[in-house]
Structure 1
Amino acid sequence: MKQASPLLLIDLLKVFAAFVIILHHLASYGQIALDARAFLPGIMDWLFEYGSFAVQIFLVMAGYLATQSLTRFANEKFSSQKLLRVIINRYLRLFAPYVAALIFTIFCAWIARHWVNDEFVGEQETLGQFVAHLFFLQGILGLDSISAGAWYVAIDWQLYSVLAILLISFSSYQTLIWLLSIVAVSSLLYFNRSAQYESYFICFLGSYTLGMLAYLAKNYSDQKIRVLAKLLIVVIGVVIAVSSLQEAWGRNILAWFVALLLLLWGDASYPTLRQGGMNAKRVFLRAIAWASPRSYCAFLIHFAFILLANTIYIAWGLHAHASGSIAIGLMLMVVLCSVVAANYLYRWVEIPATKLKV
């Protein structure tokens, strides 16, 4: 999801969501998480309980960026060959860093099994399980996930494929927007609240559609489509608010709020700073611009370092001290290692893999 011209809000959301997801997994898996929670119960309990909400940021933003790339086909004649090419190229775009991260995670899990007796490490991976991951079928086939982030990559490809089929096939976006909005409300109010649909795009289509509507409302060339998309964002917001009177569903509220942010500031560029020294604002913006394209790789690779950190914690006997400060220190090391590894995964695998196109 690289931008030809970097956009500040998009980059901020990508970096923030990836960072929160990493912290959520750190607060969820292994002996390190247990000892850190005893040391900082408030923060760790919050990350464990609500950190996964950051996935909604990814979903809404993914819908926004997918629509940005797919609307270029709006006025072109339908071609099944072109549609298939778009879907395959999206698969290839996700594939290379994903597979590299999976192989590294399998290696780290093999090391961890020698010392860590914990359910999150999982059983020895099978060839069938690995092949299912290669085709993003592990959830549909009911197989254990090799890595904590693998399920999201599969869902992202499902959602993009569905949106590509609809945006390239429909000649009337008006009809399509109404259809997707109705299905989105069903997703937000029903499918998203049932674990049995978590391996299928329908569970997350509501948040994805909000991102699509935000892009169309802000950037689409046809004014009628822009007005309709804005109207439907408001209507879906009202539906979410009314449904929250019975049961507040924080994920839906967050998804709508992110869509609203994208509608207002989704095309905001980085501010032009005066030439001079490296003040705090300049350092922060440069850090965000650097981290944003690497956020996907950090999301993919961090679980392997959680496995390694828990292995070190137990193999070296550090867990015997039940020290929260040591656990927090190892968490910080996981974050640092994830950032460094993401940089190399991005430079050595993701960038070269952009040449893999049909």
Structure 2
Amino acid sequence: MQSKNHFLLVDFLKTFAALTIILHHFSSYGQIAEDARLLLPGLMTWLFEYGRYAVQIFLVMGGYLAAQSLTRTSNLQNPRAVLKTIFNRYLRLFAPYVVALILTIICAWFARFWVQDEFVGESETMGQFLAHLFFLQGILGLDSISAGVWYVAIDWQLYAILAIMFSMFPGYRSLMWILAVLCVSSLLFFNRSGVYENYFIYFIGAYGLGVLAQLCKNYPDPLVNRVAKFFFIGIGFVILISTFHQLWIRNILAYVVAIALVIWGDWAYKDHGKEQRRGHESRTHKIVNAILWGSRRSYCAFLIHFSFVLLANTLYIAWGMSQRHEGVLAIALMLVAIAASWIAANFLYRWVEVPSRSLKL
């Protein structure tokens, strides 16, 4: 199974980042996480401390794919076309996002009967729900209904800003100058203060690296390629020099991911049909299919998994398993919940995300 719009490294990074974020959240919330840490203290602590850095992969990938999409969008110089593009992006994110929010609210309602933990939160209000529908919860200072939904709001902000920039600077050279300034400002200043974390400027450093990675290699104009490489390398030197003052792992990770996309981002899937023997797929073919399957469902898995964090902790406490404080039991339930998250993501993808793609202006 191959899609002309899919590439091996891109799909691997999407699947890997989604799985890492899911593991990070399962290692961060509730009694299950505490008891699992008793059995695997090193692994669970690492996931808790460093699993969140997978967001950098999402950001770089987001910029890379957004630039790919916008460079192929015609008539962006027309303000109405720009608004249509931005709104269609909102619609693309909206349907599975809303379904996941509703499921999370239901699971949180059940959880409050047994789980006395801060991560469950207070009962949701209508104003809070409406703010989430318009991606305003962070800007308005409201509690998030689900872990990770802040990223959806930020992704839409970044895409909207990039679409506006593409419309204002169709020659791309001025765009890359401004983008480079925003990247450096974000990486060295805005990204180091929590005051800005609900706004695009906090994240545009990693996102902009993805945009430049796309323009470095895949844009048909050689002049644009050269200018993009100049800025890409320049930002790399800035990141390197800044590490002598203070080491920021997320900046280094974002740049490494961007480099990987420049080098291997256009690796297409190989035809494994010849590797099949007696009707059985080769091991490599199965792995490739698994990566593609996970990539397509990564957004839905990212959205829906927090519901299973809530459900797993509710079952763990309601059935009295938490009183034993057995790490093996906690790990087993965690793995079942993670598998259930991907199964649910499959249905959310097939029943909601795919049909909703027809919602366009």
TM-score (norm 2): 0.97
Give the aligned residue type for 1:32: I
Aligned length: 356
- Show the counterpart of 2:114: 115
Instruction: Give the corresponding residue for 2:217.
Output: 218
The structure-2 alpha-carbon separation of the partners of 1:153 and 1:3, relative to structure 1 and needing over 3 Å to count, comes to farther
1:136 pairs with 2:135: yes
Q: Gaps (5+ residues) in structure 1?
A: none
Once the two structures are TM-superposed, the CA of residue 218 in structure 1 deviates from its matched residue by: 0.4
1:114-151 residue CA offsets vs partner (Å, 9 max, x unmatched)? 00000000000000000000000000000000000110
Deviation at 1:3, TM superposition (A): 6.0
Per-residue Cα deviation, 1:74-129 (whole angstroms, up to 9, x for no partner): 7x462111011000000000000000000000000000000000000000000000
CA distance in 2, matches of 1:204, 1:235: 19
The whole-number CA distance in structure 2 between the counterparts of 1:81 and 1:133 is 25
Of the three residues 344, 349, 354, the one matched with 1:346 is 349
**Residues in 2 aligned to 1:220 and 1:171: alpha-carbon distance in whole angstroms:** 13
Counting only pairs closer than 5 Å after superposition, residues 33-44 of structure 1 correspond to structure 2 as 33-44=33-44
Taking only the aligned residue pairs, the percentage that are identical comes to 60
Question: 2:76·2:166 contact (CA, 8 Å) conserved in 1?
Answer: no
2:24 maps to which residue? 24
Matched, 1:70 2:70: yes
Residues of 2 paired with 1:193 and 1:314: CA distance? 38
Deviations 1:306-356 (A, max 9, x none): 000000010000000000001101110111111100000000000110010
Greater alpha carbon shift after TM alignment, 113-122 vs 36-45: 36-45
Q: CA deviation at 1:221?
A: 1.4
Distance 1:77 1:351, change over 3 A: closer
In the alignment, structure 1 residue 200 sits paired with structure 2 residue 234: no
Aligned Cα root-mean-square deviation (Å): 1.2
Q: After the TM superposition, list the runs of 4 or more consecutive aligned residues in structure 1 that deviate by more than 4 angstroms.
A: none
Quote the Cα distance in structure 2 between the aligned partners of 1:195 and 1:327: 33
Residues 185-206 of structure 1, C-alpha deviation per residue, up to 9 Å, x if partnerless?
A: 1101111111111100000000
Query: Contact 1:70 / 1:168 at 8 angstroms: preserved in 2?
Result: no
Residue 283 of structure 1 corresponds to: 286
CA distance in 2, matches of 1:172, 1:6: 27
Q: Does 1:229 align with 2:223?
A: no
Cα deviation, residue 232, structure 1:
1.2
Q: Which residue of structure 2 aligns with residue 87 of structure 1?
A: 86
Conserved 8 A contact 1:220-1:226: yes
Q: What's 1:57 paired with?
A: 57
2:93 aligned partner, one-letter code:
L
Alpha-carbon offset, residue 289 of structure 1: 1.2
Give the conservation status (yes or no) of the 8 Å contact 2:76–2:82.
Answer: no
Q: Cα distance 1:77–1:65, how it changes in 2: closer, same or farther (>3 A)?
A: closer
Partner of 1:326: 329
- Unmatched segments (≥5 aa) in structure 2: none
Residue 251 of structure 2 corresponds to which residue in structure 1?
252
1:313 equivalent in alignment to 2:312: no
Cα distance, 1:281 vs structure 2: 1.1
* 1:151-166 map, 5 Å: 151-166=150-165
Match in the other structure for 1:355: 358
Secondary structure, aligned partner of 2:146:
coil
- 1: CA distance between counterparts of 2:330 and 2:108? 19
Hey, what does 1:270 align to over in structure 2? 269
Which residue of 1 is the match for residue 145 of structure 2? 146
Give 1:279 shift: 2.6
Q: Which moved more, 1:85-94 or 1:37-46?
A: 37-46
**Structure 2: which amino acid aligns with 1:42?**
G
